[in-house]
Structure 1
């Protein structure tokens, strides 16, 4: 009887067991000889890549609605090991890292999902998605059968499986396919390793369609027999058919897992843009052939905090750390607004709508943006005056040895003065501000292959400080296992090794504290923290104009917006309206090179294509 009255009460509140436990509709998804088959009927996936950590969670739904409006029926996303397991055994699937919520939201918006939990992702992402701590395990070798790597990988993919395996299409979710590894053929050709990947995924609960993806030249090396081979970087139907059939028992279906409508940027190099007209014919040809496609990227967003990656191809090349903006010249710009490329691609996609399909939804309006009033960042703190407890060592320790993933480390030693000597840092990674008795005397930049600096040392004992920034671990190629950061070898002064170091970790995992009412000293020299508060009547998208600043990082209301650097090409930082508040807001800037700068200006548009200063 009590149960009856409880049901009546809950029914009056609009709840009943059927509503609470209603199972989601399950579907079948399979590979046919020429087509993907959803519930036995051909499905052409028209997909676009977007990454949940690069978009404020509050804006996920708006981006997904834009995907529908362009005509996409599917989205693709990587899953990022280093954001989900930042330290061994410490998992984070909350907030902006709640990938399951992102996938469920896609389903609510009527989109299918292609999942890419690799765990190597590349993606212009720090260490290609690997957590830094893997490098602290002696002998561990990523992308191999090395037992310590496999054990860490297994634990991680099982945690991912708990989040996402229930969201596969066969269980009532939107996930159609799951990718095993990621462009492995560009790295190796160990088929046993690929088979191990497949088993780890299956053991973690991924029981649907699995596939591999590789660039045109590497499909044979990176494909695992029995899985669908997807092809990256081409829109030529004949080439796609040839490669897939050659590696898949002479049949399809056919999927371009990464089709690039533009490219990414790195510091000190021109901004990449490609007009839509260069790409619409290729998109048309693939869709006309009935093939499925995933554009990388549909929407890039922003690589905030310190999570950008870098490229490096050896001693004959330059180290190329990527910028914070991941605008990518994609159909949807960094702020989530449709571009001319969006409209051109939409027009092509509209030609291939299934018979009887409803018209494409209208394109949502672009978000408004504004140039907010300029600020004076009057609150001040010297970085050197606010250091944590140090770690002492005769020789410099790397970030990894200090168990620090990202940010900065200050290396401090006392050296005899009264002379002019050359400072040499072997294998610096990646950027150093050098200070003598608290005053900046120069910088060293790995991009420019700089490792030496002549110092004029005053008489007496001298405090030598070297503030080192991790500009991003390599995310692609043969150097994945050479990704330690900081001072990785010796420091020489006048040819003699400097010993007796104290190291101060400055990871800035949270926004720094800057006390109110601290005026700027008359002769500020070293790196500084500046801050201010401001009020808003209504949050609105805006852009920080950093052209008068030197190099550093910005936090807004506790969110790390990313890096800025006067060399360009990125000169602004995107501020999403979702992270502004009606009323009081706070902003903090870490400035490395121009401590005298106090004025912070806003724009209503980005500047992503302005270079200045020395280039490689």
Structure 2
């Protein structure tokens, strides 16, 4: 019996040893000039793509495209406002299952660079911060303020539970983890950066950590002792010089964000950059042995209300469009572009002898859909929830509302003409008098007032306000509340006594639809169904509509706005089904009776 006992214990030790060996099957380290994977020089050829901007059902297909272009690594942010949408309520399910995203990458033979900083920028709502941080008294983001650090720590530990076990030093495929994000463009507090580092380690991120900053800000944003990476610089000599100056004269050399194109915002032209302008830069960087992460390799779509905005003192408010096509090597639908093929050709030149790239998968088929009749309607003003009353207007944050719309209603004396002034409008308002639209105000255009004629009697004044996206970059991160953030006056007399109706539109399955709408030019929800014998990608053409949001089979596809440049909304085949499909459109300005879909996107058409 004693021999059996000893044999059993020995077997347990062997079994445990095998498990440990499997966990430590790879190593990743820094040498003086290169990264070392299993002790051998390794050059990361990485591309950024974000799990929430791609349907979960398509993650693997996008990764196969990454391999086909020659990438060996992908980079992604982790988005706090997705994973903790309300304080203390975490969500890592469905399209938010970042751990599954990383695991699929491993199955497809890809390494991962993880960027889980609470701040991501990324043309994303509030730069990734959850809206409710603004309700925490005294909280100051990106600082040593105690309340912020407490919420930060809670969040990063939850992320660590999901992702720390997937680091390469634990048998996973995460090579490196980035702390903070372009902090040098915001501040220079090294103590704050050190707190970041400690929080990451306490959360289980015990592998290689690094920082990334634009070249002019790298000195301010780098924490000594960590690898500094540079964004937006691709001159090999300058990259090496800058990193050596901030890393004890050593490398490795990593361009954490290399921009082969750019993003779009409403009312400005679509941004494109020819591949030939960047192929040579990529060639020189790879020839110099520098590792690189393309931002973006594949942008995808910023769906629902998750786009961010830019704002500076000398520029107008600039909310970003829903399409995150980015003129990237992989287009919004995940198909190879001429840029993809040009970059693939460059990468092939730098592969080890005998290494061949997989064939490029065929483009996904796309289809047009004939006119879809929207034969059910729900006028917004007839589908309001229970009101919240207050003497003065309340912000979205006051109402505990994250995104979407709020309707502000009051009663005022009629038989007058005058100026309606909304102080602190954020960001777009439809003004209605007795249920009829009389005008709009647009923060982009610095509009906050309009002349209004009030009919006789007591008048119902409605102001429907849309959150067009919180600022995601710069000092105004601390000034990001939405709705009516000041007062409303008529002829310089402040209006008191408001009812507010919360319209977050997290879903539309509770809306009560009736028959075909007779009215037009007022905010309206419309619904229709259509049948498919086969499913393919398609694009809803919204160019004849006004401004609003579209849902397909319950999925929010994002915003449209006639001003452009984006005129279509991408509909992934993965979200369509054979048989009956349901579409819902919410338009603030100009409803239509039919909706059509085309087989190509329209991303470059501006309207006045």
TM-score normalised according to structure 1 size: 0.95
Aligned position for 1:204:
203
Alignment correspondent of 1:549: 545
Show CA shifts across 1:166-206 (max 9, x none). 00001110000000100000000000000000000000000
Question: Match for residue 106 of structure 2?
Answer: 107
Counterpart residue number, 2:10: none
**Contact 2:255–2:293, Cα closer than 8 Å, also in 1:** yes
2:307 aligned residue: 308
Separation of aligned partners in 1, 2:198 and 2:39: 26
Give the conservation status (yes or no) of the 8 Å contact 2:127–2:473.
yes
**1:20–1:416: structure 2 CA closer, same or farther, 3 Å change rule?**
farther
Question: So what's the TM-score if we normalise by structure 2?
Answer: 0.96
Q: Is the 8 A contact 2:378 2:514 kept in 1?
A: no
Q: Does the 8 A contact of 1:511 with 1:560 survive in 2?
A: no
Structure 2 partner of 1:531? 527
RMSD: 1.5
Deviations 1:46-105 (A, max 9, x none): 000000000000000000000000000000000000000000000000000000000000
Match of 1:454 among 447, 451, 458: 451
Q: Deviations over 1:372-430 (max 9, x none)?
A: 11111111110010001011100000000100000000000000000001100011000
SS of residue paired to 1:561: strand
Distance in 1, matches of 2:511 and 2:386, equals 18
8 Å contact 1:424–1:452 — kept in the other structure? yes
| Deviations, residues 457-479 of structure 1 (Å, cap 9, x unaligned) | 01111000000000000000111
Question: Is the CA contact 1:379–1:515 (under 8 Å) kept in the aligned structure 2?
Answer: no
User: Structure 2: any 5+ residue segments left out of the alignment?
Assistant: 1-14
Q: Pick closer, same or farther for the CA change 1:379–1:330 going to 2, 3 Å.
A: same
Per the alignment, do residues 517 and 463 of structure 1 end up closer, same or farther by CA in structure 2, a change over 3 Å counting? closer
Correspondence list, 1:394-543, <5 A: 394-515=391-512, 517-521=514-518, 523-543=519-539
Q: Counterpart of 1:44?
A: 43
CA shift at 1:514, angstroms? 4.7
Preserved CA contact (<8 Å) 1:302 1:325:
yes
Deviations 1:450-505 (A, max 9, x none): 00011100111100000000000000011100000000000011100001000000
Task: State which drifts further: 371-380 or 342-351.
Answer: 371-380
Deviation at 1:356, TM superposition (A): 3.9
Which residue does the alignment assign to 1:580? 576
Tell me how far 1:549 sits from its aligned partner: 0.2
- Counterpart in the other structure of 2:602: 607
Residue pair 1:375, 1:600 contacting (<8 A) in 2 also: yes
**Contact 1:380/1:514 (<8 A) preserved:** no
Matched residue of 1:166: which SS?
helix
Unmatched runs of 5 consecutive residues or more in structure 1: 1-15
Q: Which residue in 2 is equivalent to 1:263?
A: 262
2:378–2:513 CA contact under 8 A, matched in 1: no
Distance, in Å, in 2 between the alignment partners of 1:366 and 1:589 is 29
**How far has the Cα of 1:20 moved from its partner?**
11
- Return the offset for 1:539: 1.1
Residues in 1 aligned to 2:109 and 2:580: alpha-carbon distance in whole angstroms:
37
Aligned with 2:68: secondary structure?
helix
CA contact (8 A) 2:550 2:556 kept: yes
Partner residue, 1:92: 91
The equivalent of 1:249 in structure 2 is 248
In structure 1, C-alpha distance between the alignment counterparts of 2:22 and 2:87, rounded to whole Å = 35
2-structure distance, mates of 1:511, 1:209:
44
CA distance in 1, matches of 2:123, 2:300: 12
- Runs of 4 or more above 3 Å deviation: 16-25, 512-517
Match status 1:194 vs 2:190: no
**Alpha-carbon distance between aligned partners in 2 of 1:333 and 1:41, rounded to the nearest angstrom:** 34
Contact 1:56–1:96 (Cα < 8 Å) also in 2: yes
- The answer as to 2:381 corresponding to 1:380 is no
Instruction: Find the aligned partners of 1:47 and 1:591 in 2 and give their Cα distance.
Output: 40
Offset from partner CA, 1:254-274 (integer Å, 9 cap, x none): 000000000000000000000
**Structure 1 residue 21: Cα displacement:** 11
Q: Secondary structure at the match of 2:263?
A: coil
Secondary structure, aligned partner of 1:287: helix
